[in-house]
């Protein structure tokens, strides 16, 4: 996935409020490699859900920062 495509996908999937757990589908076309898994109101809940996944490196937590910036962990 190119950096530009990744940024567009990240922005598209970032929620206005709360935290979204998203996964990476390495076998999908490059425009749709990120997919929504679940929404959480609290970061700790999203982090716990990520930790419960078999391959944690294949998942991101997306959220907006206090300045409106698009962040992920």
Do 23 and 37 meet the contact criterion of CB atoms below 8 Å apart? yes
pLDDT at 2: 65
pLDDT the model gives residue 1: 53
Residue 28, CA atoms < 13 Å, CB-side half-sphere: 13
Give the CA diameter of the chain.
Answer: 34
Report CA-CA distances (Å) from 18 to 14, 53, 55. Answer: 9, 20, 23
pLDDT digits (tens, 9 = 90+) for 4-56: 778 889 999 999 999 999 999 888 876 788 999 999 999 999 999 999 999 99
Check if the beta carbon of residue 62 is closer than 8 Å to that of residue 15.
Answer: yes
């Amino acid at each position: 996935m190119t950096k530009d495509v990744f940024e567009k996908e990240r922005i598209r999937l970032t929620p206005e409020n709360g935290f979204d757990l998203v996964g990476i589908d390495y076998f999908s076309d490059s425009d749709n490699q990120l997919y929504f898994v679940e929404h959480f109101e609290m970061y700790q809940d999203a982090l716990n859900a990520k930790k419960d996944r078999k391959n944690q490196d294949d998942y991101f937590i997306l959220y907006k920062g206090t300045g409106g910036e698009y962040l992920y962990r």
